[in-house]
Amino acid sequence: MAHMIFINLPVADLPRSTRFYEALGFTNNPQFSDETAACMVLSDTIHVMLLTHAKWCGFTARPICPQGSSEVSLALSCDSRDAVNAFVDAGAANGGRADVNPPEDHGFMFQRTICDPDDHVWEPFWMDAAAAIGGSEIKEAAQ
């Protein structure tokens, strides 16, 4: 059985965040959604649970990170450079902030960033697997 990941994110405005993630290609699973949470499905193994602040606080006493801070960066593989750009462009057109970190182009790998309306950072990236296997570009980029 493949492992599944459920990324739980606190959101200030559930309908706005749901629209943002739908624009990125996620679909809402109404079976696990209500007025306090939306289960947004990207694939059979990747789900994002959008939780209102009140719902989030039912799971932890730890404070919600203020906007503008970084608690996590969610890297997501894409099929091409164009798919990376389309992901970021769709997010920016639907309430996100594009390129909060400068785009990175290492030849064999290309990535950009997009913040959702609650400042959660996504890093869509494309990597040429054949070049990555060779490793010389990776070693040079790391230095």
pLDDT tens-place string over residues 58-80: 999 999 998 888 888 999 999 99
Domain hosting 31: range is 1-64
pLDDT at residue number 14: 98
Dist CA 125 CA 75 (whole Å)? 7
**Other CB atoms closer than 10 Å to residue 39's CB: what's the count?**
19
Single pTM value for the model: 0.86
CATH code assigned at 132: 3.10.180.10
Query: In the prediction, which pLDDT does 139 show?
Result: 47
pLDDT under 70 in the chain at which residues? 134-143
> Does residue 76 share a domain with residue 50?
no
> What does the buried/exposed string (b/e) look like for 41-62 if buried means 16 or more CB atoms within 10 Å of the residue's CB?
bbeeeebbbbbbeebbeeeeee
- What amino acid occupies position 66? P
Question: What string of DSSP letters covers 22-77?
Answer: HHTT-EEEGGG--SSEEEEESSSSEEEEEEEHHHHHTT-SSPPPPTT--S-EEEEE
Last residue of a domain, one of 48, 64, 80: 64
The 3-state secondary structure of 99-131, one letter per residue: CCCCCEECCCEEECCEECCCCCEEEEEEECHHH
What is the count of structural domains for the chain? Answer: 2
Q: What is the token pair recorded at 43?
A: 């694939």
